[in-house]
Amino acid sequence: MKEDTIEINLIIKKLLSNLEKTIISTHQLNEILLKAQYDNRYKLLLKQEDALITYFDVITKTLGNNLSNGYKWIPELLVLILLSEWLLEEEKKEIINNMYRLSSKLVKQLKTFKYRLPKKRKKR
């Protein structure tokens, strides 16, 4: 059991390391955009990241147009919903639909659930 946990942790750390090597942040992308004005190497790099720039542009414009200043939102939740919507349109509709139905049932149950404290026992 402990060996499994250690192995899982190692695999997760390796995945995170690989992910960090392949993901470009908005900060990095902005830096490349600025440097591309002066350096042709960065212009070439930007051409490779053209699809990513387009996606970032669409996402930021949509968020800017639909979320008022100070609006509270959960970025991680938005990502999960975005990915599930994408999957719904692409494939695996049945699996995602089943998860939505299950989550709807859970929400209804949790909203109506009443926790009752155990009755205090009388001391003898």
Instruction: Reply yes or no on whether the pLDDT at 64 is more than 70.
Output: yes
> Would you state the pLDDT for residue 124?
62
Instruction: Reply yes or no on whether the pLDDT at 95 is more than 70.
Output: yes
| Amino acid present at 53 | I
> Would you state the pLDDT for residue 103?
87
> Would you state the pLDDT for residue 57?
81
Q: Which helix H or strand E contains 104, and what residues bound it? A: helix 93-112
Map out the domains of the chain as residue ranges: 1-72, 74-112
Nearest to 28 by CA among 49, 55, 58: 49
